[in-house]
């Protein structure tokens, strides 16, 4: 009886061992097939060499002590931006484009505007050169097509569209030159350098003394950062700068015939900056460059309560208990956009 039990269990063990061996063989076969097919896939079956390896898509930014790598990165970015700048239309090419559009206009006129059909539009695109190719597409034509009964678009609207696109690309390249980190945003110091070097190109600021430049730059920069950096990260995306109207207002100062009314309503104008500076000086009785609670209490009609002032100084940037210039300018930025004096003193850390 004992021998029968022993034989019985030994048979069971043999069968299990045999099954285990077959499983191992099957697993080895599966592994061999997987390796074969994976190797063929990785090699791309000789169809495309790009399948042979995954391209590198991440490059670590150089550290501060890696001077050579930083210089190489700066130089490569500068070359890239120069190449992008050469791809844009210059004044002569824009003038040539206008002559071609005017030559191919299709009558009748729509009011006082010259019009162009899609067929003539494509002909101009062929003659305008490779730089203009991106503007002569069905998508662009469709965007500018409105209610013309002949299916035409306005030559002036199309030309203004091209001008605006060229200006946006030029401005983006100009701002990118000040993007030290190369990550698509400007820090406060970067934007300060941009505006400081922009001042000599703005005829409406010719009368400013150089000693006033620092305050003017601070005044201009605060508007950008107050509205475009609400979380106070200390940096602004270049795309956000281009998307808002602030840069348009700043570059409006290139107009030598800008009216007095336009200057008064423009935050970046010389009269506006001088007004803010005058208010600050009038409040700063001890001339230490900062405002105490007592000095700020005289603002406007001197109706600010002590409780309100305490709360303001808890929120704004101070030094030795006194408000710094940036916080005061933040307040003036809000006043320029909202006449409600209660909400205007919502001062945040710049």
Average confidence (pLDDT) over 322-335: 75
- The pLDDT assigned to 140 comes to 95
Cβ atoms of 241 and 184 closer than 8 Å: no
- The pLDDT assigned to 341 comes to 38
How much is the mean pLDDT over the chain? Answer: 83
pLDDT band at 187 (very low <50, low <70, confident <90, very high): very high
- More confident call, 335 vs 153: 153
> Which pair of structure tokens corresponds to residue 324?
């710094």
* C-alpha to C-alpha distance for 204 and 208, rounded to whole angstroms: 9
Average confidence (pLDDT) over 281-294: 80
pLDDT band at 52 (very low <50, low <70, confident <90, very high): low
- The pLDDT assigned to 1 comes to 46
pLDDT in tens, 66-124: 889 888 888 998 899 999 999 999 999 999 999 999 999 999 988 889 999 999 999 99
- The pLDDT assigned to 342 comes to 40
Question: Is the confidence at residue 44, as pLDDT, over 80?
Answer: no
- Residues 6+ positions from 208 with CB-CB distance below 8 Å: 199, 216, 270, 273
Is pTM, for the whole model, over 0.85? no
Helix (H, G, I), strand (E, B) or coil at 110: strand
Nearest CA among 135, 126, 123 for reference residue 164 = 135
- The pLDDT assigned to 27 comes to 79
In this structure, what DSSP letter does residue 245 have?
S
pLDDT in tens, 193-222: 999 999 999 999 988 898 899 999 999 999
- The pLDDT assigned to 337 comes to 66
* C-alpha to C-alpha distance for 170 and 186, rounded to whole angstroms: 16
Least confident residue range of 63-77, 253-267, 289-303: 289-303
């Amino acid at each position: 009886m004992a021998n029968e039990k022993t034989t019985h269990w030994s048979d069971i063990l043999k069968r299990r061992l045999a099954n285990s061996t077959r499983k191992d063989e099957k697993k080895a076969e599966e592994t061999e097939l997987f390796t074969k097919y994976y190797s063929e896939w990785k090699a791309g079956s000789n169809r495309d060499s790009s399948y042979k390896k995954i391209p590198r898509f991440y490059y670590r930014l150089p550290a501060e002590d890696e001077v050579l790598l930083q210089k190489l990165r700066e130089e490569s970015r500068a070359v890239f931006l120069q190449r992008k700048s050469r791809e844009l239309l210059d004044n002569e090419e824009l003038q040539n484009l206008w002559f071609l559009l005017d030559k191919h206009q299709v009558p009748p006129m729509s009011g006082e505007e010259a019009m162009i059909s899609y067929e003539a539009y494509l002909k101009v695109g062929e003659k305008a050169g490779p730089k203009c190719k991106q503007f002569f597409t069905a998508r662009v034509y469709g965007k500018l097509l409105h209610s013309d009964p002949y299916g035409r678009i306005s030559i002036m609207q199309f030309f203004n569209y091209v001008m605006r696109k060229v200006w946006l690309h030029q401005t983006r390249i100009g701002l990118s030159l000040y993007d030290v980190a190369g990550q698509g945003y400007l820090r406060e110091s970067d934007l300060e350098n941009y505006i400081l070097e922009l001042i000599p190109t703005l005829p409406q600021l010719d009368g400013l003394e150089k000693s006033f430049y620092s305050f003017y730059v601070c005044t201009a920069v605060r508007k950008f950062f107050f509205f475009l950096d609400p979380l106070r990260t200390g940096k602004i995306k270049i795309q956000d700068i281009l998307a808002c109207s602030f840069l348009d207002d700043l570059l409006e100062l290139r107009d030598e015939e800008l009216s007095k009314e336009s200057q008064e309503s423009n935050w970046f104008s010389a009269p506006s900056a001088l007004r803010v500076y005058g208010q600050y000086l009038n409040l700063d009785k001890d001339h230490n460059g900062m405002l105490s609670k007592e000095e700020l209490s005289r603002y406007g009609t001197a109706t600010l309560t002590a409780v309100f002032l305490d709360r303001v100084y808890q929120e704004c940037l101070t030094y030795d208990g006194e408000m710094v210039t940036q916080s005061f300018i933040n307040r003036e930025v809000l006043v320029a956009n909202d006449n409600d004096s209660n909400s205007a003193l919502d001062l945040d850390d710049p």
